[in-house]
Structure 1
């Protein structure tokens, strides 16, 4: 309990320096009294976001991770940083707003919905504890790099996350950089975003119920269910990843609609990264002896990401051929 309270306190206090700086910036910085030294804060909001991320996340989170021998906090903030960024971009003095105010409000609202869903899933998965464990990929790298991990972790856990998170959140920046009226494509983007959030929520809920049931069976000494093959998982091996991709591609549609489609590069990189993570997850499944054979059959009959009807092994072989 004491450790949980300590971690919660650390996590809540850590972003305060950036928040205080930005509130001070909003209150005292304007075009009349801004000094040349700090003018870039006003004229380059994207650079300012990266500087704050580097100092407050990369450096501070890294030091805390070294002191605790666990880089757990970046997982919690993965669900929060997009919310901080969308508020940063929407409240910055250079944010466009004549026609854009409703698009901004819609995207801010959607980002909060996405964040609440993902944050809820994180704490549900962790039994409502703060910092119980770090991401299994970081733990694997910790063992792999040994004594060098202390400095390698700065780049692999944090600098890489800056590139990834700032990049994937580019649509949150560009929709506040253009002043286009709402149109039908905004509503298409809304539908795609909400569909992604909904699919991810139900997929994660079904996965949580499956894992919880298996833990109970294990305690009772009974055989565990080998594969989750019901609900939306009947039609996709990774529906949670599919839903997450829909969310980011929905934001990319917002970016395309304001004429800044280059911002969708983040969604593309995310899809490529999820393809790699999918491969790692499936390798882990196949290494677990009690479910390896069942999972091989599951792979042969079920779509990887996009929910689709079951197909037989023979159909799969023909499709591959």
Structure 2
């Protein structure tokens, strides 16, 4: 197999966009029926899984079978774990205050129409773009090599940070004695955002699987994914938004002073 299969890849791009938007459209219908748009957070991970499975199915006969299977499996595991965690965390709760605040901008217009334009379509497009390394890796020729090993290890490190960080935070919040307190234990004593750092590792790890293909096209096509995800995590709807929300909580300034804002390190003595 020689060269990058541009025609097949472009067709796959269109199908993957359709898969992401289909997940978002179905989620929008559920949200309207429930009168609650926080369910779109569950769809984020599911849409990534849908894009990966679509790319795997359509790239048969074009990309390396080992890479196709590996990058799809890693993406699906990450996406389903994230979706399951968010669904479990949100059970029994009403609308997320973030969406209430955002949808208040709809004014006299329809909140649902505003949500569809500014949340569901935007998230579908973001899933499609961030998934570019997964899509490119599925179509990339060349056998798996050392970069795939490093990428898989980085993905695994990220998944551990996400899963363990989420578990530690859930246990902390479950104790009524911790109400109103800042979580500063376990991984949360090394970084204020172990889950976001985990996402960072996952997507740069998946990008390395595209880099491993031995040609420049998957690298050039895929690098936008982790770059955009890094921006979202550090400057967009992740770290920056959460820290603005937490800024006035008692003890948070002291926590910020001793704890890394993103990359893990031992806590400072202050």
Matched, 1:286 2:252: no
Matched, 1:229 2:184: yes
- Residue matched to 2:4: none
Q: Of the candidates 138, 153, 165, which is equivalent to residue 203 of structure 1?
A: 165
Matched, 1:111 2:111: no
The more displaced of 228-237 and 85-94 is: 85-94
Distance 1:93 1:251, change over 3 A: closer
TM-score normalised over the length of structure 2: 0.85
Cα displacement string for residues 148-205 of structure 1 (whole angstroms, at most 9, x for unaligned residues): 3333222211111122100111112111222111111110001000110011111110
5 Å matches for 1:18-167?
A: 44-54=11-21, 56-92=22-58, 95-97=61-63, 100-127=64-91, 132-148=93-109, 149-167=111-129
Distance in 2 (CA, whole Å) between partners of 1:67 and 1:41 is 38
How many corresponding residue pairs? 257
Distance 1:231 1:304, change over 3 A: same
Distance in 1 (CA, whole Å) between partners of 2:14 and 2:141 is 21
| SS of structure 2 residue aligned to 1:76 | helix
Question: Contact (CA 8 Å) 2:173, 2:179: kept in 1 or not?
Answer: no
Distance in 2 (CA, whole Å) between partners of 1:42 and 1:117 is 27
- C-alpha displacement at 1:70, in angstroms? 2.0
**Structure with bigger RCO (C-alpha 8 Å, 6+ apart):** 2
- C-alpha displacement at 1:297, in angstroms? 0.7
- Residue matched to 2:265: 308
Q: Of the candidates 221, 238, 250, which is equivalent to residue 205 of structure 2?
A: 250
Distance in 1 (CA, whole Å) between partners of 2:243 and 2:140 is 41
5 Å matches for 1:171-186?
A: 171-186=133-148
TM-score normalised over the length of structure 1: 0.73
Stretches of structure 1 lacking an aligned partner (at least 5 in a row): 1-39, 218-222, 314-321
- Residue matched to 1:12: none
- Residue matched to 2:225: 266
| SS of structure 1 residue aligned to 2:70 | helix
Calculate the aligned-residue CA RMSD, in Å. Answer: 2.4
